[in-house]
Each structure stands twice: as C-alpha cells, then as structure tokens.
Amino acid sequence: VQLQAFGGGLVQAGGSLRLSCAVSGRTFSTDAMGWFRQAPGKERELVASITWSDGRLYYADSVKSRFTISKDNAKNTGYLQMNSLKPEDTAVYYCAVDRTIPIGTAWDYWGQGTLVTVSS
C-alpha cells in the first residue's frame, strides 16, 4: 500500500486548505484512514479519522467544527478540509491507513508529510 499526501502550504490565519491522500496498491486491505499532525517539539497526534466502509468519523477536540475528513472510494482518496485555520494548526500533516483503526499511532501505512504553515 502506498500513500501520497499533498495540499499543504502557507496560509493566513482564518484561511482554508484541503489536504488530499491518494492510496494505491492493496487498497482492499485497508478500511480506515487517519490524518495526523506533528508540530515541532510535539508528539504526533491524530486529528481525524474515517472508516471507508461505513464512514465512522473521529475528530480531535482541537479541530472539531473546523476540519472535515472525507473520502472518495472510487478514487481511493481521502481528504482533510481545514477551515478557520489557526497558527497553532501549523504542523507537518500525515495521512495513514490501516485495516481497522488502531490505538495511537500504530497504523500500518503512512504517507509522506505535507507541511501546513498558518501565519498570524
């Protein structure tokens, strides 16, 4: 399974970005996608997850009502729409997939990170 994440960039506070994560390879072996972020000096944290089969959602409290995770099964692509961005959202964002939603960061497959920088 290979993942390619893209869509990061520099945005002003209050702005929006949409991250995409294209999944290829043995996609039938995965049913969950998560978006993580890691800011300098901080641990990697899960910000949102979705299951492909039934669309179950999870959001970290810090991003609820601002971020939306979604999927396009036909394209094997997941998205993270980020609105009302804040400087504290600045981080490297990673997508990950697994057969089910693991505990913590123990996901099987990871994409390369994409940097999101929010200026104040």
Other beta carbons within 10 angstroms of residue 1's beta carbon come to: 17
DSSP for residue 52: T
Three-class SS state of 25:
coil
* pLDDT at residue 110 in the model: 96
DSSP for residue 40: T
* pLDDT at residue 81 in the model: 98
* pLDDT at residue 54 in the model: 87
Tell me the mean pLDDT per 10 residues along the chain, length 120.
95 98 85 95 96 91 97 92 98 95 90 96
* pLDDT at residue 53 in the model: 85
* pLDDT at residue 73 in the model: 85
